[in-house]
Amino acid sequence: AAYGVEPDLSGAAYFFALAALCGGRVKVQGVSNASIQGDIRFLKVLQHMGVRFYQEDDGLVAERFPQDGLKGGITVDMNAFSDQALTLAALAPFASGPVKIVNVAHIRHQECDRIQAIVVNLKAMGIKVDEAADGVTIHPGQPQSATVRTFGDHRVAMAFGLVGLKVAGIVIDDADCVAKTFADYWSVLDRARPKAA
């Protein structure tokens, strides 16, 4: 028997985040907004920030009109979908107000201390970050070029790689660590990124 298995939403989320960050339209094939995966909740966060989602027959479309900007001023309890805390942290500097991520103390004990990874890397980019035991508050700002320390964690690399779509000079150390879950991430991201006019 053949069974259809829906794509991994944790991987798909970076491409929905790409639409949030850069504006425009991204479709991830095979994804449904009726998914039972926990990371589907991240799409609701993106909606609050101004991304529209459309279900099409072959996948889910995320779209943000560039003139709308990315809305901030939000507090998000990410306990149930904490794999996306790094992704939201990468988007947060570009939002219109502070983004507060709470109730994710457990991500300090994953592949690396992911709260520390958020703080270290955003501060290296010149972004103001307030650290708490269970999360962070990230203030809007224009990130500067920096080398991202991945701490060998694939999700740190994939999330902060998004910043490089908007900011020149973002270098990912140990970029190959993405092989744990998404070996061709960089080539897929390169194909998906907006092309200069």
Mapping DSSP to helix (H, G, I), strand (E, B) and coil, where does residue 28 land?
Answer: strand
Tokens of 20: 């949030």
DSSP track, 139-154? ----PPPEEE--TT-H
Q: Per DSSP, what are the bridge partners of residue 24?
A: 64
In one-letter notation, the amino acid at residue 11 is G
Mapping DSSP to helix (H, G, I), strand (E, B) and coil, where does residue 62 land?
Answer: strand
Please choose, from the candidates 17, 12, 6, 46, the residue with its C-alpha nearest in 3D space to the C-alpha of residue 182.
12
Residues annotated as catalytic are 83
Cβ contact 71:97 at 8 Å: yes
DSSP track, 71-108? ---EEEE-GGGGGGHHHHHHHGGGSSS-EEEES-GGGG
**How far apart are alpha carbons 122 and 138 in whole angstroms?**
8
